Structure 1
Amino acid sequence: MSVSREFLWILIGTAAVTLIPRTLPLVLISRMKLPDYVMKFLKHVPLAVMTALVAQSVLTEGEEWMSPDNSDWLAFFPTLAVALLTRSLLLTVVTGVVSAALLAWLF
């Protein structure tokens, strides 16, 4: 299998277009001293994003979103418990992924 130059340039271009808007603000902001109220605000952004993703994933299953067959809904409970008890985004994500994987494996 050969890869054309055109494909490589397209791949490099899409990587740059994806990477630059994500890393450039982070690099610039990490060098600045932000006020305390901005830091308090930014501290809540991951939780807000995670809540939106979880709510969209769990609650958009149509009328059957709360049925026992919906493994997303069942994985939600241990994930919510870990989130409330630990307040750790990493542990919450790991718990959600492991819970969903175990439920998919069992059912």
Structure 2
Amino acid sequence: MTGGSPLPIGGSLEVWLAIVLIGIATYGFRLSFIHLFGRIDEVPTRIKRPLRYVPPAVLAALVFPDLVTIRPSVAATLVDERLIAGVVAGAVAWRTENVMATIASGMVTLWLFRFVVFA
């Protein structure tokens, strides 16, 4: 065996060690919360208040990069079907506060623009 990696999958030992250690740390962090909330009867208000912002923040972090793509021109960026569907879904979410209506309106708009308007 000439050169190459000592691991069969590829990558250096340090990379795989970092992946394993980060996985163990993440698992331990999550397990600590499960253990903590299993031992107390009521979550304190000063902890409960910020936790209500976690789902919208995670959703925004997952969705926002797909909505905002850099195209060769500003006009191409503004007429991107994903951005248009995201704006429509955001408006529906703001007006109705209904998750299913938001998802449905965003998907219908995306499909309409992708398969009918820009086809």
Distance 1:55 1:98 in 2: 18
Indicate the structure whose relative CO is greater, using CA pairs within 8 Å and at least 6 residues apart. Answer: 1
Consecutive unaligned residues of structure 1, counting only runs of 5 or more, are 1-16
Residue 83 (structure 2) aligned to one of 57, 73, 80: 73
Distance 2:94 2:88 in 1: 10
- C-alpha RMSD of matched pairs (Å): 3.0
Distance 1:75 1:94 in 2: 10
**CA separation of 1:77 and 1:43: change in aligned 2, threshold 3 A:** same
Relative to structure 2, which stretch is displaced further, 43-52 or 95-104?
A: 95-104
Report the counterpart of residue 56 of structure 2 in structure 1: 47
- Superposed, 1:17-32 pairs within 5 Å as 28=35, 31=38, 32=40
- Partner letter of residue 93 of structure 1? I
C-alpha displacement at 1:25, in angstroms?
A: 7.1
Aligned residues between the structures: 86
Consecutive unaligned residues of structure 2, counting only runs of 5 or more, are 1-22
The structure richer in helix per residue is 1
Determine which structure has more spread, i.e. the larger CA radius of gyration. 2
**Identity rate, percent:** 25
Distance 1:27 1:91 in 2: 32
Report the counterpart of residue 97 of structure 1 in structure 2: 107
Distance 1:93 1:73 in 2: 14
- Partner letter of residue 58 of structure 1? L
